Each structure stands twice: as C-alpha cells, then as structure tokens.
Amino acid sequence: MDAREAYTIIKEQMNEDFILYFWESEDCYIYPGEGNTVNTIDKRTGEIGFLWFPQYMDIDMKPVYVEEVYDDFSSYLEDGAEDRLAKGYASIWDELIRFEQALKECSGSDKNLYQKFVDKYRVFESKLRLEIMRIITEEGLSMPPYLKGTEDKFYMLKPFMVRNGYTISMTDKRWEPQ
C-alpha cells in the first residue's frame, strides 16, 4: 500500500474537515485517533488498528508528504467562509510552528522532508493571512489599542480570529478554539 492509498483510507476514517499530514513507520501509516490513541494502517495488509499512548511514543516515524492532502485543504477553503478561514489559519499556523521547530532539530534526508512541509505551510499561511487581512480592512475590524501599529503577523489577525471563535493560547503563540 502506498501513501496515496493510505490517505484515501484516512480521509474515510477520520471525522475531520481536513488533515494536514499523517505519519509512517517501517510497517504502517499512522494518524490521530480518539483520545490517547493513534490509528494505524498496515502497509502490507491494509488492516486498520490502533495504539494507545504511550505505545506509539517508541515508534520511529516521520511525516508523509502527499500533495492530495493540500489539494483537499485548498478545496475546504474555497468557499471563503470566515469560519473555514479561521479554522484553516489556526491549523496551518500551529503546524508551521511545529514543523519549523522540527526542522531545526533534524538532519539529513529528514531535513529535506521537513523543509517541504515548512515551505508548503508558509505558502498557505501567507495566502490565508492576506485574505484575513483583506477582510479586516474591508470590514474595518478594529485592533485593540495595544496592538495598533504592530507588525506581528500573528497578532494582526486577532480581531478576525476572536470574531470567529478563537483565542490566543496562554502558553504559546497559537490559536485555540474558545
């Protein structure tokens, strides 16, 4: 079974609007499950299973880059609904931060793989940020006084993100659903 076939199964199994990546190990593909589990797809048989935390913490795995993931994400964003833009931006921002950190810590062929993800996430982040800034400008959403004049692309989006049900994480620079 190849990664594209696995992605098709993952889309059918997951109850999410979109996914941005999944993982693979030597024997299986891995994607989020319920609670403290991950789901697995055996590469040879296609059999679906699951692992509990911390079982999967010892598995050597890496993210899988499949272009169809981003085609589907683009399709999800196409209608331009604000709630979709906000959810998409929050997700892309989180993954961009996570993968940029992983990129700093890896080497060799993994570095190339993580760079591919970072590059793709930067493109999406930029497009989404520009669209959100257009909405903020057109609708005259006001910035809180302490943010006026900021050039920080994270905080510049706060009026839009808050209006669409997100708040700033208290521990790091991430968007969380309210």
Same domain flag for 42 and 85: no
Tokens standing for 109? 């062929």
pTM > 0.85: yes
Q: Which residues pair with 167 in a beta bridge?
A: 176
Of the residues 78, 101, 120, the one at which a domain ends: 78
Contact 23, 30 (CB under 8 A): yes
Rounded to an integer, the average pLDDT of 102-128 is 93
Tally the domains of the chain: 2
Same domain flag for 51 and 126: no
Same domain flag for 116 and 88: yes
What's the domain range around 10? 1-78
- Distances, alpha carbon 140 to alpha carbons 106, 132, 161, 176, in Å: 43, 12, 14, 24
- Of 101, 92, 90, the C-alpha closest to 157 is 90
Confidence category of residue 155, pLDDT binned at 50, 70, 90? confident
SS3 113: helix
pLDDT tens across 56-65, in order?
A: 777 888 999 9
Same domain flag for 66 and 96: no
* 13 vs 15: CA distance, rounded Å: 7
